[in-house]
C-alpha cells in the first residue's frame, strides 16, 4: 500500500496538469468572443402599433420632419393606471402632418416633441 501511494499522487498530479493545459488551450480569447457575439447579432427595427408605456428612454438623434411622404399612421397608448388617461392630450389625428419642433403630446403637464 505504501508503494502505491506515491504512484497515485504522481498520476493525479500529471492528470491535473494535462487537463489544465487542455483547458487553457481550448478557451477562446475575450476579443474573439466579443467579435463572435457582434457577428451573430441581428438588429430588428419596426414601427410600434400599440403598447404600454413602462419607462422612458432618451437618446440623441436626428428626427425626420417636414416630409410629405412621412406621416404617422396611428397613435395608440395604453395606460397601466386609469388616472393617467385624463392627463394625456394630443392635437393630432390620423393622417395629420407633424411639423418640425411641434409638440406631439402632453402627459402629466409636460409637453413632448
Residue 14 domain-assigned (yes or no): yes
The pTM of this model reads: 0.26
Position 49 in a domain:
no
Beta bridge mates, 89 = 106
Predicted local confidence at residue 58, as pLDDT: 44
Which residues fall within 8 angstroms of residue 109, CB to CB, at 6 or more apart?
87
Is there a domain that residue 108 lies in? no
CA 14 to chain CA centroid, Å, is 46
pLDDT of residue 4: 82
Please count the residues of the chain: 113
- Encode the chain (113 residues) as per-residue pLDDT tens digits: 677 888 888 889 999 999 888 887 776 665 665 566 566 655 555 555 555 555 554 444 444 555 555 544 455 555 666 666 666 666 666 666 666 666 666 666 666 65
Write down the pLDDT at residue 23.
81
Grid cell of 98 as nine digits: 407633424
Expressed in angstroms, the distance from the first to the final Cα of the chain is 84
How many domains does the chain contain in total? 1
19 belongs to a structural domain: yes
- Domain with 33 in it: 4-39
Amino acid at each position: 500500500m505504501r508503494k502505491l501511494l506515491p504512484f497515485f499522487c504522481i498520476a493525479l498530479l500529471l492528470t491535473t496538469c494535462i487537463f489544465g493545459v487542455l483547458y487553457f488551450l481550448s478557451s477562446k480569447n475575450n476579443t474573439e468572443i466579443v467579435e463572435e457575439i457582434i457577428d451573430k447579432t441581428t438588429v430588428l427595427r419596426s414601427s410600434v402599433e400599440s403598447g404600454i408605456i413602462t419607462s422612458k428612454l432618451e437618446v440623441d438623434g436626428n428626427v425626420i420632419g417636414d416630409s410629405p411622404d412621412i406621416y404617422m399612421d396611428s397613435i395608440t397608448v395604453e395606460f397601466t393606471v386609469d388616472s393617467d388617461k385624463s392627463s394625456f392630450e394630443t392635437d393630432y389625428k390620423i393622417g395629420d402632418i407633424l411639423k418640425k419642433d411641434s409638440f406631439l403630446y402632453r402627459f402629466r403637464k409636460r409637453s413632448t416633441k
